[in-house]
A = this chain, B = another copy of it.
């Protein structure tokens, strides 16, 4: 080019944190990686370094010493808080909560012969942590926000992660969730007692229990009280689900609400698809979770397409009704159909405390973004 070559653009992903090779990478830049199934069912609380990673942009490097969290908008006094102020001015709370990507199990839509766009998540973009921090409600109250202020409908979050045009990641939740004393929304600075890892929002992130992971904004820079939802692409033009009759050519993004609470789901983590079974029964393990604080009350497993069901043993952290933020791990030993040889399909379905259950097939809940896949989970094994 006349005037000389363009200056080389520095790779914004040059300083990403180190990650364990055990994570299954679905995209490198930004980093998106899921937890292997056998490790998911290994512990009720996912080890921090195995927690699935869902980044939208490069990981920002934030200096805790100069970090300031800004609070502004309708009905609040503008406030800037250092990390130390956040940690010392407010009462500390811990919440055990599962986070799940809205696209978890997206691959099951691809199996319907109607492929969807998006990261090809299998069942591992879900994990559970003990989050510690302070309540968003307490910070908003300190900024002067009153309950039932009619000018405020949404609490917006802005991340410190930005794209090449300096646009940050953003999302919002309803103010009623943010201010609900039973909603347990945290500004978290610890995971399992350790400072947040860089991939999970160091030094401060939002944790919105029961809600799609995309609203739990990491590397939190700003909180805005508003009568409007976040204007971000991810709030307005993504993370919504439509009827199977809606596709990219006829989608009206405003016609569906942003996903917040997620529906009840489950996943068979063991055995893996195609596993050889040389026995007349099989031990099946997995996880189950539902959004909105609706704890899992039952998981049923079938080896005959749903004709007979076997109720699994549940392993879960005790949580109050309506605040069942954490998943259940489960295990069932299921007899194989008499004389079965070759491919046998195992299916699992969960029931939550609202008695919502999973739909049988993925096709009737197919949606163009491939989100909220919660049909019965199916795994074919090979009986010897």
> Residues of A with Cβ closer than 8 Å to B?
147, 174, 176-177, 180-182, 241-246, 256-257, 259-264, 291-292, 294, 297-298, 300, 306, 308-311, 320-323, 349, 351, 353-361, 363-365, 372
Contact = CB atoms under 8 A, between A and B. Distances in A.
Contacts of A261: 294, 353-355
Given A245-B300, A297-B257, A361-B360, A181 B147 contact: yes
Number of copies: 2
A306 B363 contact: yes
A308 to B, nearest CB: 6
A176 B361 contact: no
B356 A264 contact: yes
A257 to B, nearest CB: 6
A147 B311 CA distance: 36
Contact of A256 (B297, B309, B322, B360): B297
Contact of A311 (B243, B264, B355): B243
A283 to B, nearest CB: 18
Considering residues A147, A259, A294, which has the most beta carbons from chain B within 10 angstroms of its beta carbon? A294
Given A181-B147, A311-B245, A360-B360, A260 B353 contact: yes
A181 B181 CA distance: 10
A362 to B, nearest CB: 11
